[in-house]
A = this chain, B = another copy of it.
């Protein structure tokens, strides 16, 4: 297995990426890595993996055309390496999300039968250890009902082959549980999905993370709002909690007594362990690691890429969307 890694563009520079690659290779001797980036920053990788000197960084706000023009960037080169090249099994970057998604979609193309690729991420739920897969969380600004139906198929396959869920329960994100509720797009998607045996109806945003749903389907704009409002509120609550513990000496002593429970809580909510988001529906395994990845988080992303390749998810989707 060969994974192409873009080492530039992350918030914390290339050092955590280098560290992650070293740790990953120690545990996965059967995987080869090709690291794209500034060679002087990748010296620790010499002898451990292939290094390609590609010195330009795609800026955070790059549009689709910008990234296609930056042919000498580490991101473009990493993505391009997989074009029509069965040697490269996966690509990872923690750089510009927009740039990476554009590059991956335009260079690798979408799978026949998939109109638009979808960004998918597993969310923690109230049920210990159970994740809910939500897509699209931001690859598009709008989607058609037919695209939501394709997302449902891709999500179901993801849940089945990555999380080993035998009968994934698929829901549409909506503003009410009844069949008649929703945006014009989601209502139409409901009609198209209603004979799919995996489809269980609408779920409201407040119940989305209760653990009933294996897959939640939504358009990219709404999914992005869901992702970021959940994230924002979790951060806000964590901040308020920190203040509560810092109030005075007594509350600090109180913290010492509950820190084990709080640690469990943050492990449940730890998005870093999910490794980032995956772009489903293109001809290749494409993993977008968090922009602020540390070594642990990026290593998780590498593990996700490996798991996606092992599960042969791209071919599973190719077969699944044909049906």
Kindly report which residue of chain B lies nearest to residue A125, judged by CB atoms: B236
**Cβ contact within 8 Å between B142 and A236:** no
Q: Is A144 an interface residue (CB 8 A)?
A: no
* A230: B residues at CB distance < 8 A: 229-230, 232-233
Contact of A205 among B186, B224, B254 (CB under 8 A): B224
**Cβ contact within 8 Å between A221 and B222:** yes
| Bound: A303/B157 CA distance, A | 52
| Bound: A302/B240 CA distance, A | 29
**Shortest Cβ gap from A80 to chain B (Å):** 26
Contact A232/B205 with A175-B224, A182-B221, A269-B240 known, Cβ cut-off 8 Å: yes
Kindly report which residue of chain B lies nearest to residue A173, judged by CB atoms: B225
Kindly report which residue of chain B lies nearest to residue A186, judged by CB atoms: B221
* A250: B residues at CB distance < 8 A: 257-258
Most chain B CB within 10 A, of A126, A229, A244, is at A229
Q: Is A206 an interface residue (CB 8 A)?
A: yes
Q: Which of A32-40, A259-267, A273-281 lies at the interface with chain B?
A: A259-267
Contact of A247 among B236, B253, B261 (CB under 8 A): B261
**Shortest Cβ gap from A228 to chain B (Å):** 4
Q: Is A271 an interface residue (CB 8 A)?
A: no
| Bound: A255/B226 CA distance, A | 31
Q: Is A56 an interface residue (CB 8 A)?
A: no
* A243: B residues at CB distance < 8 A: 261, 264-265
* A265: B residues at CB distance < 8 A: 237, 240-241, 243-244
Count of this chain's copies in the oligomeric assembly: 2
Q: Is A183 an interface residue (CB 8 A)?
A: yes
Q: Is A311 an interface residue (CB 8 A)?
A: no
**Cβ contact within 8 Å between B225 and A244:** no
| Bound: A302/B320 CA distance, A | 55
| Bound: A244/B258 CA distance, A | 6
Contact A247/B258 with A175-B141, A222-B222, A229-B230 known, Cβ cut-off 8 Å: yes
**Shortest Cβ gap from A198 to chain B (Å):** 22
**Cβ contact within 8 Å between B126 and A236:** yes
* A251: B residues at CB distance < 8 A: 257-258, 260-261
Q: Is A209 an interface residue (CB 8 A)?
A: yes
**Cβ contact within 8 Å between A245 and B261:** yes
Q: Is A19 an interface residue (CB 8 A)?
A: no
**Cβ contact within 8 Å between B268 and A182:** no
Kindly report which residue of chain B lies nearest to residue A98, judged by CB atoms: B176
Q: Is A235 an interface residue (CB 8 A)?
A: yes
Q: Is A138 an interface residue (CB 8 A)?
A: yes
| Bound: A245/B265 CA distance, A | 11
| Bound: A258/B239 CA distance, A | 14
**Cβ contact within 8 Å between B247 and A260:** yes
- Going nearest first, the 6 A-B pairs with the smallest beta carbon separation are A254-B257, A244-B261, A206-B232, A205-B228, A206-B228, A205-B229
Q: List 13 A-B contacts (CB under 8 A).
A: A175-B224, A186-B221, A205-B228, A229-B229, A230-B230, A230-B233, A233-B237, A237-B265, A241-B265, A251-B257, A253-B257, A255-B257, A255-B258
